[in-house]
Structure 1
Amino acid sequence: MAADRPQSDAETAQLTPSEALAALEWYRAAGVDMAISEAPVDRFAASAPPRRPTVPPPAPISAAPQHSPPPSPGAFPGTAPNADPAESKAIAAAAETLDALKAAMEQFEGCALKRRATQLVFADGNPEAEIMLVGEGPGEQEDLIGKPFVGRAGQLLDRMLGAIGLDRTKVYIANMVPWRPPGNRAPSPEEMAQCAPFLIRQVELVQPKILVTLGNVPTKALFETSQGITRVRGQLRDLTVGSYSLKGLATLHPAYLLRTPANKALAWQDMLALKAAIAPSATVED
């Protein structure tokens, strides 16, 4: 099978307007944001400063020279932001309300994801709910609208909740990272470390009774386990998130269920387990 490649000028000229728009949309969704020519360009050579003539070192002097401290990461345009998660941890700890936390996150520049995202995707639902759901990160539609789980996966999640008598007025929904990773890739460990304090603080401020993790990424992070989602899902466990203790339940991510519909039966079992946890005395029928 031939590898995917950009179309040549001759092939592109044969595209209809709708086909050309579809091709551009595919590239945009994949995270491509720069057009390049067919000939390779050495960007390092282009950005390198001109060579200066060699100057002999100055004669040594008796007094020790005074050295300036090295610049901190992110001090120059185009360099990566500070990757130390201690900064986001301190900012999150200082927030006394969800509104204050959201405002602080909007000002935070310590995560490279923010530079590529359209906007912050903070949360949705009822902050006084007893159930909190945590996903991986925003997708394309979430990035555009500014709310978690509003695309096809979000619509499926709404139907899953509705099947056990819940809706967004009865749950609170957030993500492990609040900015969309390019191309909807999984967040890197560094990005998770930078953003986790914000999610932990949301849990501490909302104080739900049950935390539902959607998919592998939030399950491994919040359950502090290396086991995959299929081994952990459907089991009500004791969790400690930051300074707050509660019950936790893992289930499959709705986006995964869209790709593998046969596993919807497993997710339905998890929803029944959630329903039983909400009302332990109620009779739950398959």
Structure 2
Amino acid sequence: MAKWERVLGISVILSCCFIGVYWSYFRAPVSDTEMAPLPEPTQHDLLPADYTNTDFVLQRPRFLLFGDSLTERAFSVGGWAGALAHHFYRKVDVISRGFGGYNTRWAKHLMKDVFNGVDGTNTKLVTVFFGANDAARANGPPHSARQHVPIPEYADNLRQMVAFIRGLGVQTIVLMTPPPVHDAGRKDWQVLRVGKAASDAMPLDRTNEHTAGYAAACLDVGKELGVPCVDLYGRLQKEQDWGPNFFTDGLHFSPLGNAKVFEALLDTLASAYPDLK
């Protein structure tokens, strides 16, 4: 047999095999009984024709975090809000509404805009985390004197905030005390900001001792109103070397400090609102 005849024979055999396999696996069904049943329509298939992604986002449950720079920075790398979002992924959207430099006196005037569209149906949790700027010293540098809010006013502002949120139908609220201040770290930050000579001539803008009264006031308001409170001021100071480990500048959290905030918040949620899983 010639070589070309052998090649032709092999080609014919392979072609027949291919046609057989194709016919077995990919042919159209010859009768209705062979047709696979269509899947049941999903909820998405039943949605109105004008339903948009925006509608989906607006209807998804959310956690709203309201605070100052300690909330504003909470979605930074290793931030406590990011950890919270990861913990509750697929369940809720975690929304940060943090305003760096704000105290309760200023922040309460933002609430109508911040909480626009919020109600007890779409918002499953609100955290209120202020006090670090309220606790700025009145006799400190100019920027801290502007931020300072006396403790009685701070406490009353927290009451107004809780009342406003409850008026929207949201009952799952958590207060968070201002964290402790690492005085040595704050001094180092001040030297970097204005130089050693100028820093030595001015007091610190915040101190741990001064912040203690604001943390206590926040805890008292929580007890008074029946709102759970995360005692960051007390809890963080129980850890060894908490100052340099938990803060970058004596005030704002390091990644390890953020992890401790997330841990403390999660413990409070598990105790006060066990249904938030």
Q: Give me the TM-score of the superposition, normalised by structure 2.
A: 0.31
Q: Give me the TM-score of the superposition, normalised by structure 1.
A: 0.31
The structure with the greater share of residues assigned to helix is: 2
